[in-house]
Amino acid sequence: MARRLSQALAFPITILAILLSAAPGRAAAGMDVEATLPVDGVSRSYILHLPPAAAGGNPLPLVVVLHGGGANADSAIALTGFSAEADAEGFIVAYPNGTGRLRPTTETAGQFSWNAGDCCGAAMRRDADDVGFLRTLVSTIEQERAVDRHRIYAAGFSAGGMMAYRLACDAGDIFAGIAVVSGAILLPSCTPSRPVSVIHIHGTGDEAVPFKGTAERESYARAKFPPVRESVAFWAAFDGCRTQPVARATVLGIKAEDYPDCKAGTAVRFDVVEGGIHAWPDGTDTPGFVATPHIWHFFADHPRL
């Protein structure tokens, strides 16, 4: 795993559901709630982050954040920093746990994967209905909280990004947009029901999900990866965008490619991190470019029309 993910996994699994008090001079922090829900006889778990704005009762956007392979909800919180962004911008965040091994050991008990098609791990081997789980998760949150149904999104890293692509393919009726960091479409067939906005961030030096794809099944995820650009181009075509993107340099080392004139108010954007590794950009190796606020602003600009 890349350095960012390794750092995230170093955080212990904690029992949450506390209201954090704000430090002097800082904005109030929100509340984390740990919960479970039954899906096809299996108890599935997640952490829900409620920003201070949730106390007002107005419908808020919802972002479902999907951890990478071998990781969990806690590591996604630490890796992405989406909770702090949610507190500042006023949206709800759900951090679901994927599917674990049937007989986990002490060492693997906190490691989960997603059934993203031809990936990944125990979830793929068990043919876990992760799409069904995430549909139920969103429905449950909608019943319990005030959610703006035009502003429901999914964001994922690595295997979580592959799962986000699967949600766009299989649950586009729910998600207005997705964000993928270091992922690809690994479904044998993607047949979306409606246009979905897509932002994809990927490093050209990614060795886990290679930018140019792999000729054979790659050992990291035991999957054959297509060239990353093919996943982006698929969505540009489905969303009715122009086939040729407009490229522009944003900050040093980042090249943005926007596909213009997409239908139904959608957008497709590809941010290429020159030399970037398999990581969630946090500004350390990408000065001036931090993935989480960048993704949120893309989401905020593209609700479901």
> CA nearest 34: which of 18, 20, 21?
18
* Domain extent for 49: 3-301
DSSP, residue by residue, 85-153: HHHHHT-EEEEE--B--SS--TTTTT-BB---BS--HHHHHTT--HHHHHHHHHHHHHHHS-EEEEEEE
Beta bridge partners of 63: 93, 153
In the numeric block, which tokens belong to residue 295?
A: 């993704």
Q: If DSSP codes are grouped into helix, strand and coil, which group holds residue 78?
A: helix
CA dist 268 and 233 (Å) reads 9
In the numeric block, which tokens belong to residue 51?
A: 């920003």
pLDDT for residue 105: 82
Chain-centroid distance of CA 261 in Å reads 24
pLDDT for residue 27: 58
Contact 236, 263 (CB under 8 A): no
Instruction: Give the count of domains, the chain.
Output: 1
pLDDT for residue 114: 96
Q: What is the CATH number of the domain that holds 287?
A: 3.40.50.1820
pLDDT for residue 11: 36
Beta bridge partners of 198: 178, 268
Q: What is the mean pLDDT of each run of 10 residues along the chain (305 residues)?
A: 39 37 57 94 94 96 97 97 98 95 81 92 90 97 97 97 98 98 95 97 95 77 86 98 91 93 97 96 94 98 96
Q: Calculate helix-pair angle for 82-89, 73-80, nearest 10 degrees.
A: 60
